[in-house]
Amino acid sequence: MSTLTSVPNEKITVPLIRARKVRAGAAPIACLTAYSKPMAQLLDPQVDMILVGDSLGMVLYGFDSTLPVTLEMMVDHGAAVMRGAKRALVIVDMPFASYQLSPQQAYQNAARVMAETGCAGVKIEGGAEMADTVSFLTRRGIPVLGHIGLMPQSVAASGGYRAHGRDANEADYLVQSARRLQDAGAFAVVLESMIEPLAARITQELEIPTIGIGASPACDGQILVTDDMIGLFQDFKPKFVKQFAQIGAQISTAVSDYTNAVQRHEFPAPEHCFGVKPLVPVATSAPVTPMKAAADAKAGKTRRRS
């Protein structure tokens, strides 16, 4: 039987997440994405890890892919999320072309993200081919969350949005990649859009936790894009998303109610307006001239009708 390994008020750290293997009795790690302070405030008491994902490019900015996302965007949204998160571990995605050139480029940009946001670590897409870069970062004190399987930054090269690991060569490459990332010091690895038995096998083989998205219930944790999970992002819904709420529909209803209320002169009502209730001058024997009323008001001698 699994036991919870964190208590609600405990600050979640990288070593705490690294130790969360379900087979060792830990509760699965709950992760979601956030791009803003208010969303971070809502998620923070409830989840173990918040990812400032570069999915913000598609979800928030309306780009067709994550490729146009810049380091500046990740820094700005990462800093906003950090202002709303007190307890959960916050990890910021490294955007396309900010880390692939060399380990040195990756270090320079990851260090900037950490210094300017205050986040706990960064996520990097890539398998065995990124292991040297991950090792370069982790040996210099930058915690890294790996990401293999479907990697949105390289969908063009890998044949679009599809499940990974069906073919034996690809499955072998993914197992090797997971091991190499672990050996390079990654504290956990995201498995995205991967056939279920392969995600379960990688989870079984690794000492570090796996975090699945479209992968397997056997993973040590799960992550979804919050806007997908609450039904706010409506352009498309990947097969692996479960909508736990229909916030988009609720917003539509609220906006329609608002417009109707405005058009029917029902909003704003008196309680939403200032100065509707007349000021009553304090009783005085002298006639109240405008100048006297102004002087009384300045001296605090008027009060609102209760």
* Cα–Cα nearest to 50, from 22, 80, 76, 20: 80
Burial (CB count within 10 angstroms: exposed 0-12, middle 13-18, buried 19+), residue 191: buried
CB of 252 to ligand KIV, least distance (A): 24
Burial (CB count within 10 angstroms: exposed 0-12, middle 13-18, buried 19+), residue 168: exposed
186 touching ligand KIV, by CB under 6 A: no
Instruction: Kindly state the tokens that stand for 117.
Output: 């946001």
CB of 223 to ligand KIV, least distance (A): 5
Given the residues 10, 192, 196, 207, select the one marked as catalytic.
192
* 231 and 246 Cβ atoms separated by less than 8 Å: yes
223 touching ligand KIV, by CB under 6 A: yes
Per the annotation, the verdict on 192 as an active-site residue is yes
CB of 54 to ligand KIV, least distance (A): 5
216 touching ligand KIV, by CB under 6 A: no
CB of 209 to ligand KIV, least distance (A): 14
Pick 235 or 271: Cβ nearer ligand KIV:
235
What count of other Cβ atoms lies within 10 Å of the Cβ of residue 23?
A: 10
CB of 39 to ligand KIV, least distance (A): 13
Pick 242 or 264: Cβ nearer ligand KIV:
242
CB of 168 to ligand KIV, least distance (A): 25
213 touching ligand KIV, by CB under 6 A: yes
**Which are the contacts of 294, defined by CB distance < 8 A and separation ≥ 6?**
none
Place of tokens 């190499």: 180
CA dihedral 212, 23, 28, 56 (to 10 degrees): -30
Number of residues engaging ligand KIV in binding (CB under 6 A): 11
Q: Using CB atoms, what's the residue nearest to ligand KIV?
A: 53
What count of other Cβ atoms lies within 10 Å of the Cβ of residue 284?
A: 10
Residue type, 97: A
Pick 29 or 213: Cβ nearer ligand KIV:
213
Instruction: Kindly state the tokens that stand for 304.
Output: 């609102």
Cis (ω within 30 of 0) for the bond into 270? no
* 180 and 129 Cβ atoms separated by less than 8 Å: no
Binding string to ligand KIV for residues 50 to 89, with x set by CB under 6 A, is what?
-x-xxx----------------------------------
119 touching ligand KIV, by CB under 6 A: no
16 touching ligand KIV, by CB under 6 A: no
Q: How far is CA 61 from CA 51, 54, 113, 243, 293, in A?
A: 17, 10, 20, 21, 54
33 touching ligand KIV, by CB under 6 A: yes
Question: Which residue in 110, 188, 199, 225 binds ligand KIV (CB under 6 A)?
Answer: 225
d(CA 278, CA 287): 18
* Cα–Cα nearest to 240, from 123, 150, 125: 150
Question: Which residue in 190, 195, 208, 215 binds ligand KIV (CB under 6 A)?
Answer: 190
Active-site residue set: 192
Binding site for ligand KIV (CB under 6 A): 33, 51, 53-55, 93, 190, 192, 213, 223, 225
